[in-house]
Structure 1
Amino acid sequence: MEETFEQRKKYCLNKLDLSKKGSVDEDIQHVVYLINSCKDLFTTSSCSGRIILFDGFPNNSDVQKKGCVWLFVAHSKCTFDDLMSGLSRSTNDAVLKFEPFVLHVQCRRLEDAQLMVLQESSGCPVLR
């Protein structure tokens, strides 16, 4: 049986947040909640942007987050001392990574996605 949009939305919004942080970033909560209040849209992933310092992999040139040790992470401004404190715990070559804002939204129809991109009104307060 094919899963309906409503079933996917309900499942996604009720499932456990498996991110390392475990919750929606405070700076973008209002946007996420507003999108999720629309009947034809829901968020599947979001991040307000972050700075990550993690132990690198000495035998691998790829920068990967899975399975690595996070030395420091911030979703807002950080200080030099914050980074130096993280570096003091490093056992390999440390990697500093900046990830900008990201928001993944699932739309009921292609037209809903196009309206989001064009920022036109579709009866949803997000798109006005």
Structure 2
Amino acid sequence: MAAFARRKAQRLALPDPSRKRALDARAAELVRLLNARERFCTTSSCDGRVTVTMTALEKATGDVVFKFEPFVLHVLCRELQDAQLLHSVAIDSGFRNSGITVGRGGKITMAVRSTHCLEVPLSHKGRLMVSEEYIEFLVHVANQKMEENIRRIERFHKGLELALETADPADAVFPQGPEKGHSVYVHRRKRRTAQEQAHPSRELGAQDETENSLDLFAEITI
């Protein structure tokens, strides 16, 4: 426990190594929620983005790629059951590529990830390989993915608040006992299994229908 507390204090004292030098807005709420608990320490996060490797596609001389990256969050956990709790919430929220790793010295890391991504080459050696119409279609698809990404973040945030409160209703900053943490994780898994049996055709975290694409998310000038 003392070793984890020291590791957390040292990591949180370091300057932000990202180019932005600040947390993304939606990720910031989750980071604050987790770091307020003694048993968690966030290490990296991104709330999702759409990027093109060069700002002006028509002036590109190399290879240009259109890319959408969904939300990602990495969290150091003090105990395995803490990582299991986060993993259960992440899976239920649609982040089905989430996982737990145990490194040297017993360092436990929980990664919240999904396969809800997009990466498409647009040009090769300066030559545009797709039509303007296709690029507009990619923008539309990326906007839909971003909308779904935001919904999953919101589900994860709400589910995490509930899970943490259930695990430790007395005081958020005190660590939970091993047995309590394990029981919460098992309970959530059993509840999810019961839901799947009751609704076999329903897949939690499947992409919801989107009404209209949000052109604010992705815009390319060609």
TM range (shorter): 0.5 to 0.7
Specify which of 59, 63, 82 is matched with residue 112 of structure 1.
82
TM-score, normalised on structure 2?
0.39
Question: Which protein is richer in strand relative to its size?
Answer: 1
Q: Match for residue 15 of structure 2?
A: 16
SS at match of 1:10: helix
Mark the CA change 1:96 to 1:8 in structure 2 (over 3 Å): closer, same or farther: same
Which structure has the greater CA radius of gyration? 2
1:17 partner amino acid: D
Partners of 1:14 and 1:108 in 2: how far apart? 18
Report how far residue 30 of structure 1 moved. Answer: 0.9
Give the CA deviation at 1:26. 1.0
* 36 and 89 in structure 1: CA distance in 2 versus 1, 3 angstrom threshold: farther
Structure 2: where are the runs of 5+ without partners?
90-162, 174-180, 185-222
The alignment partner of 1:4 has SS state of helix
One-letter identity of the residue aligned with 1:107: C
| Alignment-derived partner of residue 61 in structure 2 | 91
Supply the distance in 1 between the matched residues of 2:40 and 2:88 (Cα, whole angstroms): 15
Report if aligned partners of 1:27, 1:48 keep a CA contact under 8 Å in 2: yes
Cα gap change, 1:53/1:10 in structure 2, threshold over 3 Å: closer, same or farther? same
Give the match for residue 29 of structure 2. Answer: 30
Contact residue 112 and residue 122 of structure 1 kept, 8 A: no
* Aligned counterparts of 1:44 and 1:14: Cα–Cα separation in 2: 12
Is the 8 Å Cα contact of residues 53 and 95 (structure 1) preserved in structure 2? Answer: yes
Q: CA RMSD for the aligned pairs?
A: 2.5
CA distance in 1, matches of 2:62, 2:72: 29
Aligned residues: 96
Q: CA deviation at 1:113?
A: 0.9
**Who is 2:43 aligned against?**
44
Identify the structure with the greater helix proportion.
2
Residue 88 of structure 1 and its aligned partner are, at CA, apart by 4.6
